[in-house]
Structures are given as C-alpha cells and as structure tokens.
Amino acid sequence: MSIKIHIDDQAAEALLEKRPEESAALRLAVMNEGCGCGGDIWFEMNWDLPQVDDLQIEEAGVRIILDLKSQEYLEKELFLHYTPEKDAFSLKSRNQIYLHHIHL
C-alpha cells in the first residue's frame, strides 16, 4: 500500500526544529485492543527510530515511518498541519481527522 503524506510548510519547519536527533523519524501508529473492529482503535504520533519492516516516507525534509499494521487503518492520502498558536499538529485525510492538537 502506498501512502502520500502532505506536510504544510509550517509543520515541516516545526517538526525539523522539534526532532530530538538526526536519526529520529516521526512515527504514525495505530493501536488497538480487542478484536480491532473499530471501537478500541486510537492513533499516535511521536518520535521513534525506524524498524526494518517500517514503511518510510520522506516529505518536506521530514522522515515519517509506519508499521505494516498501522497502514491498514489509514487512508492513502494524509495531511499534516501545524497550528503555531497552539504549538500543535493535526493529521487528517479528506474524510477523517485522525489526530488533533498533538504536542510533540
């Protein structure tokens, strides 16, 4: 599965400033409990080091990583925005908000 992530200029600049070290990548992860039928699913975004099986996406100078399982729950086109007034990020698709007002 191929995923395209659009990062606005403010988000790219803020992410590069907040990156804890050069080798760190922004991990988008989907976590679930139970049967995974939707009610027990939540989304996370945080800095991590890439694993062998991760999908790695480079966009606007930012490396983003996703594990195989997380890819199943995300749409093929995502948008990462930054709100400077709140120092927070949002991850959305055209149809859904995955994360809103996330602080890194």
Give the pLDDT score at 80. Answer: 97
Give the pLDDT score at 35. Answer: 63
> Which sequence spans correspond to the domains of the chain?
4-102
Cβ-based neighbour number of residue 16 at 10 Å: 11
Identify the architecture of domain 4-102 in CATH.
Answer: Sandwich (2.60)
Order of strands, edge to edge, in the sheet holding 97-102? 4-7, 77-83, 88-92, 97-102
- Low-confidence residues in the chain, pLDDT < 70: 1, 34-39
Give the pLDDT score at 41. Answer: 82
